[in-house]
Amino acid sequence: MAQYYSRRNLNFLLHEVFDAASLNKYPYFNAHDRETIDMTIDAVTQIGDNLMYPYLRDLDRNPPELHNGKMTVHPKVGDYLKAMGEAGLIGTSFSFEDGGQQLPETVSSCLGFIVMAANNGMMYTGLTSGAAGLINSFGTDELKQTYVANMLSGKWQGTMALTEPQAGSSLSDITSTAAPQTDGSYLVKGQKVFISAGDHDQCENIIHLMLARIEGAPKGTKGISLFVVPKYRLDGADNDVTSTGVYHKLGQRGVPAMHLTMGDRDDCRGWLVGEPHKGLSYMFQMMNEARIGVGMTGAAIASAAYCASVQYAKERPQSRRLNEKGALDSPQIPIIQHPDVKRMLLLQKAVVEGSLSLLLETARCVDIAHASEDPEEKEKYHLILELLTPIAKTYPTEMGLVAVSNGLQVLGGYGFTEDFPLEQYYRDIRITPIYEGTTGIQSQDLLGRKMTMKGGKPAQLLFAEVAKTIAEAETHEELKPYAQKLKAELGRLQEVTMALMPYAMQGDIERYLMDATLFMEMFGIIAVAWQWLKQGVVAKNALLTQQPEGDELAFYESKIHTMKFYFHYEVPKTLGLAVRLKDTEVLTIETEKELAL
């Protein structure tokens, strides 16, 4: 077991379960095969081992500092950016002509998993590729030529400048302004908060992808435009973007969350990306990848915590088997042999590997929706992607948090100390259910938008995929009971959906979405149950066809064991959730008389 992720498990998911190389049947991906994929994974792992994981603590201990307008971050961030840029590992999914490697998102997202598991405090490159992606997709050739190459090289940092003090989850209330100038640029003015990597000294320029309103634009989300706002203009002149403040954070301390002021001196220039008033729709086209990225961060931190707690549990002797309490002359046993500790470790493994599987399933939809030339296939995977994205963002972050807390508990008092990394992972992962749309927002997206989209077609398409897995599993005696459990869960989920739909049809959206977060929790458990059954089928087939031995035998057996654990310990939680979701008692909607709290 590595220090922060299991390569064997990544290979299992990437090659045995999702057969990433087979995506090269699509012309767009035909440059890649298993060898090129593995080489890329090797390269990123090397960076993780050498330039990231060794500085996990050090970045946390030495957070970014703002001194009279100048942001300094840990110097190792520069080494990381340089290495990633030189290896061409920023924006790997970009097309060749755009300076990328045309790598499937299925693979690119694994690279994100590895770097975030190695040191999630170095969350810089994902922001840059996201920002560059926006310019790529919607910017003029001039904007592309000006910015993209310098960003993918790691020289220029990219950011997403959305949130404003008065508009957190509510982007329709954005008030930053943009006034057109004769030279085609815009004079930009506004405040942005929580801008990750919003300023630092380990790059040559910061390129903000900023949302603002062009004077006279319509109210709400339909009046928001997207601009490129660099820290320095091309001639090197200061572009009037001020670092007003840096937040002191619970975790992920290696990357600054900035409060920025654009246009303090009325001299901040921005360049429009795409058409006016379409900024939010552009943002949302990037949002799927961004949300998968945050889900990956949750899975990654949980993976690193799992690795650390397994290692501790194998080495720490404590007490004796419960059936041999009296045997005081016998030595203490490693705590991994205690059922309660084994349970906490299996829970972590089930969450980490189940989450990663769900995320790769989702990334695969991105790839097929993008690369397929068959319109029907394209639409199918696009719709499944729309449905899975909020779940793939939420399950790994919410349950990742629970997994990390269990990892800390495995270490007892030592888990609470800075002698082990668990306490840091517990702090770091806490932001992930908030980033890129909180769990509440994701849940409203799932139930409010995705479940009702096209008369429920996305869910129909997804359930058909799940049914395929169930059918495969039923061919194995050992898996049959789990196939049947999953079938029952699908039925339960449909019942709940049917119970809620009438509220949507009556237009009582508030009532319909009242417990959306619980619906999300239930759907997430079932989606991951599907992933575990899928992994169980692949493992079972491997055991039957390859007759593996030694570590390989143990690996596949532990996959089936963990699948069983998930079904016996996690899946039953849907019973209580379904009861509540079908329950007609309304307790969280304001009546005229406000509840005293």
Residues 43-102 that bind a second copy (CB under 8 A): none
Rg (the chain; Cα; Å): 24
Quote the CA–CA distance of 461 and 359 in Å, as a whole number.
18
- Long-range Cβ pairs for the range 361-364 (8 Å, 24+): 361/18, 361/388, 361/392, 361/531, 362/292, 362/295, 362/388, 362/389, 362/392, 363/104, 363/105, 363/106, 363/108, 363/109, 363/292, 364/18, 364/20, 364/23, 364/104, 364/105, 364/106
Interface positions, 527-546, toward a second copy (CB under 8 A): none
Q: How far is the CB of 512 from a second copy (least distance, A)?
A: 8
CB of 228 to a second copy, least distance (A): 24
Distance of closest approach, residue 42 Cβ to a second copy, in angstroms: 23
Q: Does 579 bind a second copy (CB under 8 A)?
A: yes
**What does the angle CA 127 – CA 392 – CA 24 come to, to the nearest 5 degrees?**
75
Q: What character string, x for contact with a second copy (CB under 8 A) and - otherwise, covers 171-210?
A: -xx-------------------xx----------------
Handedness of CA 141, 147, 151, 157 (dihedral sign): negative
CB of 415 to a second copy, least distance (A): 7
> Which helix or strand (DSSP H or E) is residue 190 part of?
strand 186-196
Residue whose pair of structure tokens reads 């960003």 in the numeric block? 151
The least CB distance from residue 106 to a second copy, in Å, is 26
Site membership for a second copy, residue 430 (CB under 8 A): yes
Tell me how far, at minimum, the Cβ of 377 lies from a second copy, in Å.
Answer: 34
Between 490 and 553, whose beta carbon lies closer to a second copy? 553
Nearest to 151 by CA among 227, 81, 73, 237: 81
Query: How many beta carbons lie within 10 A of that of residue 566, not counting itself?
Result: 26
Phi, psi dihedral angles at 277 (to 5 degrees): 70, 5
Angle between helices 375-410 and 339-371 in degrees, nearest 10: 160
End-to-end CA distance of the chain, in Å?
Answer: 48
**Closest approach of Cβ 507 to a second copy, in Å?**
8
Site for a second copy in 305-334 (CB under 8 A): 310, 313, 317-323, 325-326, 328-329, 332
Between 398 and 427, how does the x/- string for binding to a second copy read (CB under 8 A)? ---x---x--xx--xx-xxxxx---x--xx
Distance separating alpha carbons of residues 114 and 4, to the nearest angstrom? 8
Among 13, 123, 345, 359, binds a second copy (CB under 8 A): 345
Size of the site for a second copy (CB under 8 A): 103
Residues 547-566 within binding reach of a second copy (CB under 8 A): 551, 554-555, 557-558, 561, 564-565
Q: Does residue 514 touch a second copy according to CB under 8 A?
A: yes
Q: Could you tell me the smallest distance in angstroms from the CB atom of residue 161 to a second copy?
A: 14
Q: Decide if residue 573 touches a second copy (CB under 8 A).
A: yes
Q: Which residue stretch of 119-127, 269-277, 384-392, 515-523 sits at the interface with a second copy (rule: CB under 8 A)?
A: 515-523
Asked if 592 interacts with a second copy (CB under 8 A), we say no
| Count of beta carbons in the 10 Å neighbourhood of residue 261 | 17
Q: What are phi and psi of 31, to 5 degrees?
A: -80, -10
| DSSP notation for 18-47 | S-GGGGGGSGGGTT--HHHHHHHHHHHHHH
474 an active-site residue?
Answer: no
Q: What angle do CA 420, 426, 430 make, to 5 degrees?
A: 160
Contacting residue, 7, 72, 102, 168, with a second copy by CB under 8 A: 168
Q: Where are the alpha helices (DSSP H) in 141-199?
A: 141-152
Residue 488 interacts with a second copy (CB under 8 A): yes or no: no
Stretch that binds a second copy, among 46-54, 103-111, 340-348, 358-366 (CB under 8 A): 340-348
Task: Write down the catalytic residue from 105, 361, 436, 570.
Answer: 436
Among 32, 349, 382, 393, binds a second copy (CB under 8 A): 349
Q: What residues from 208 to 267 belong to the interface with a second copy (CB under 8 A)?
A: 219-220, 247-251, 257
Map the footprint of a second copy across residues 122-141, applying CB under 8 A: none
Q: Is 275 in the site for a second copy (CB under 8 A)?
A: no
Distance of alpha carbon 18 from alpha carbon 136, whole angstroms: 28
Distance CA 256, CA 249 (A): 9
- Residues with active-site annotation: 436
